[in-house]
């Protein structure tokens, strides 16, 4: 399914919102349970206790009214007794009707039946006294059994017990409410943290699915900027994959343009080389005066012509090398090499030029391991660096060349006391055709290809080159190479065996 960044984010937000709604609904449900439990407790048990208290009071009154009536046989007392008794019965019935607990129900039923027995006995006495002898003989003995009054302590005790049970039920209910509240609070806390964790996981996942492909596109474009025109692989199906497709298209086009450019550069170099060789031969024949004698002015012109032909040939060769490097066609013949002797040869070649300019070259060296290098190309590297140092150093300046062990490899540093390079130019000096602002200060004109070739050649052979400089004070170029791994080379080959001996001798 193609999920755009917008859809992914909306889906994430909606999921988080849905989880939060569920959690809140659960918490509301739990609170409702707690509130219902509290409500039931208050409306049922508290009401029962209040009713039971009322019934107990009424029971006292009833006992007294009955007693008075049985002594005085006054119908006013009977009426009070009868009224109180029927109200008590009503209240008792309504209390019985709301009971859900069997024990309390039984207790009230017992109160009800004992009370009924007592009421019936009093009413029986009243009926009897009205109908018969008491009308004519007021002193006739009472038929009411006084033992009936003994049921009152039992009834009071039963009502007290009922109230104690109801209070215990309230306490139990309140304990349950407290327990439920604590549990709900714990669950709410867990759910809150759970929701937070889920929200963070979703946010992290969505962010990763967005940033991961973007990082791949950034890495891809950085490689394209460095001249490697590979394809960016993005597994997501959102806008980033469209962006990756567009960058891949661009990369393809750039590769084609680059190949075309490299082919053109090679073509131009080849086209220039043949006529240059012809001009060089003609210049040689003329300057050797093989076709007749020349005057000094003609010879001077031919000398100047030779200098320019050399420059053109040098430029054409550098141009061709750059074209080969860019097309990935530069080949290196790596052999076990003695870095010190390569540097020494380059310095020797440059001495004439340095002396002519009045620049002093100082070389120092300490034992270094052998390296793997293409001797011809590495010579070109040091020739370029040393000739640059001479070119950009004024008369009486010094070039200090040091060859020493560096880490487990070797380092050659070429430091001059020349014009230096501005800090804003320094990162660009290895870019082909780049000439820093200081280049205009020196008389000799350059091509801007020398350092680009130095970097490509050094890195092509497994080394690294760096530059530091202070404007007006001088520059230092360092070339580092790892030590050759002699253990991986076949020791039986004579060249290697000899190198091993030399290396042992140097170390």
**Binding interface with ligand ADP (CB under 6 A):** 388-389, 392, 416, 418-419, 421, 429, 434-436, 438-439, 446-452, 475
Taking the complex as a whole, how short is the minimal distance between the CB of residue 491 and ligand ADP, in angstroms? 40
Give the separation between CA 296 and CA 284, rounded to whole angstroms.
16
* H-run or E-run covering 346: helix 339-357
The CB density around residue 307, as the number of other CB atoms within 10 Å, is 9
For ligand ADP, the closer CB: 177 or 449:
449
Taking the complex as a whole, how short is the minimal distance between the CB of residue 356 and ligand ADP, in angstroms? 17
Taking the complex as a whole, how short is the minimal distance between the CB of residue 448 and ligand ADP, in angstroms? 4
For ligand ADP, the closer CB: 126 or 388:
388
For ligand ADP, the closer CB: 67 or 448:
448
Taking the complex as a whole, how short is the minimal distance between the CB of residue 255 and ligand ADP, in angstroms? 25
The SS3 assignment for 238 reads coil
Taking the complex as a whole, how short is the minimal distance between the CB of residue 315 and ligand ADP, in angstroms? 9
Give the separation between CA 144 and CA 155, rounded to whole angstroms.
19
Taking the complex as a whole, how short is the minimal distance between the CB of residue 472 and ligand ADP, in angstroms? 11
Give the separation between CA 350 and CA 361, rounded to whole angstroms.
9
The SS3 assignment for 466 reads strand
Taking the complex as a whole, how short is the minimal distance between the CB of residue 257 and ligand ADP, in angstroms? 23
The distance of Cα 368 from the centroid of its chain, to the nearest Å, equals 45
Taking the complex as a whole, how short is the minimal distance between the CB of residue 457 and ligand ADP, in angstroms? 12
For ligand ADP, the closer CB: 339 or 386:
386
For ligand ADP, the closer CB: 15 or 447:
447
Give the separation between CA 273 and CA 280, rounded to whole angstroms.
10
Cα torsion angle, 109, 111, 117, 123, sign: negative
Taking the complex as a whole, how short is the minimal distance between the CB of residue 417 and ligand ADP, in angstroms? 10
Taking the complex as a whole, how short is the minimal distance between the CB of residue 492 and ligand ADP, in angstroms? 42
Count Cβ atoms within 10 A of the Cβ of residue 72 and give its class: 0-12 exposed, 13-18 middle, 19 or more buried.
Answer: exposed
Which residue lies nearest ligand ADP, judged by its C-beta? Answer: 446
- Read off φ and ψ for residue 333, nearest 5 degrees: -100, 90
Q: Which of 388, 405, 408 is nearest to 339 (CA)?
A: 405
Give the separation between CA 334 and CA 458, rounded to whole angstroms.
12
Structure tokens that stand for 347 in this block: 């310095």
For ligand ADP, the closer CB: 66 or 452:
452
Q: Residue 46 has what DSSP assignment?
A: I
Q: Residue 413 has what DSSP assignment?
A: E
What is the DSSP secondary-structure string of 53-84?
HHHHHHHHHHHHHHHHHHHH--HHHHHHHHHH
The angle at the Cα of 457, spanning 456 to 458, to the nearest 5 degrees, equals 95
For ligand ADP, the closer CB: 99 or 380:
380
For ligand ADP, the closer CB: 422 or 506:
422
For ligand ADP, the closer CB: 206 or 449:
449
For ligand ADP, the closer CB: 409 or 418:
418
Taking the complex as a whole, how short is the minimal distance between the CB of residue 338 and ligand ADP, in angstroms? 25
The residue assigned the tokens 């020797």 is 348
For ligand ADP, the closer CB: 381 or 421:
421
**β partners of residue 54:** none
CB 435 within 8 A of CB 452: no
Give the separation between CA 412 and CA 386, rounded to whole angstroms.
11
Q: Which of 360, 350, 348, 365 is nearest to 412 (CA)?
A: 365
Structure tokens that stand for 76 in this block: 């006013």
CB 90 within 8 A of CB 109: no
């Amino acid at each position: 399914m193609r999920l755009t960044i917008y859809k992914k984010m909306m889906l994430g937000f909606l999921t988080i919102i849905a989880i939060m709604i569920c959690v809140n609904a659960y918490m509301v449900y739990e609170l409702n349970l707690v509130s219902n439990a509290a409500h039931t407790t208050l409306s049922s048990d508290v009401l029962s206790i209040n009713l039971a208290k009322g019934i107990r009071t009424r029971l006292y009154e009833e006992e007294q009214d009955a007693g008075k009536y049985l002594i005085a046989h006054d119908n006013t007392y009977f009426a009070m007794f009868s009224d109180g008794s029927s109200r008590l019965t009503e209240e008792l019935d309504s209390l019985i009707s709301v009971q859900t607990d069997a024990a309390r129900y039984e207790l009230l039923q017992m109160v009800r039946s004992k009370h009924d027995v007592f009421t019936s006995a009093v009413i029986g006495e009243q009926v009897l006294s009205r109908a018969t002898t008491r009308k004519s003989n007021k002193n006739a003995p009472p038929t009411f059994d006084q033992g009936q009054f003994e049921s009152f302590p039992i009834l009071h005790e039963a009502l007290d017990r009922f109230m104690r049970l109801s209070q215990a039920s309230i306490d139990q209910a309140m304990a349950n409410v407290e327990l439920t509240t604590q549990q709900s609070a714990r669950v709410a806390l867990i759910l809150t943290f759970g929701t937070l964790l889920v929200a963070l996981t979703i946010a992290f996942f969505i962010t990763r699915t967005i940033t991961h492909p973007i990082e791949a596109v950034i890495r891809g474009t950085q490689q394209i900027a460095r001249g490697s025109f590979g394809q960016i692989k993005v597994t997501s199906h959102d806008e980033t994959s469209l962006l990756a497709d567009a960058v891949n298209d661009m990369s393809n086009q750039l590769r084609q343009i680059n190949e075309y450019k490299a082919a053109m550069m090679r073509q131009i170099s080849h086209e220039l080389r043949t006529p240059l060789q012809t001009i060089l031969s003609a210049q040689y024949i003329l300057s050797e005066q093989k076709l007749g004698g020349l005057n000094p002015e003609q010879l001077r012109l031919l000398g100047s012509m030779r200098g320019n032909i050399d420059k053109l040939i040098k430029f054409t060769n550098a141009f061709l090398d750059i074209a080969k490097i860019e097309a990935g066609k530069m080949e290196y013949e790596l052999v076990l090499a003695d870095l010190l002797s390569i540097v020494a040869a380059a310095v020797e070649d440059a001495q004439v030029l340095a002396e002519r300019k009045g620049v002093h070259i100082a070389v120092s060296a300490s034992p270094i391991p052998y390296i793997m290098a293409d001797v011809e190309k590495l010579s070109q590297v040091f020739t370029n660096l040393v000739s640059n140092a001479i070119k950009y150093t004024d008369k009486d300046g010094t070039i200090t060349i040091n060859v020493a062990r560096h880490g487990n490899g070797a380092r050659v540093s070429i430091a001059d006391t020349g014009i230096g390079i501005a800090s804003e130019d320094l990162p660009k000096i290895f870019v082909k055709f780049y000439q820093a602002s200081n280049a205009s200060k020196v008389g000799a004109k350059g091509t801007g290809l020398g350092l680009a070739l130095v970097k490509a050649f050094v890195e092509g052979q497994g080394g690294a080159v760096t530059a530091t400089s202070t404007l007006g004070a001088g520059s230092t170029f360092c070339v580092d190479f790892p030590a050759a791994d002699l253990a991986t080379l076949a020791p039986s080959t004579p060249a290697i065996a000899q190198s091993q001996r030399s290396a042992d001798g140097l170390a």
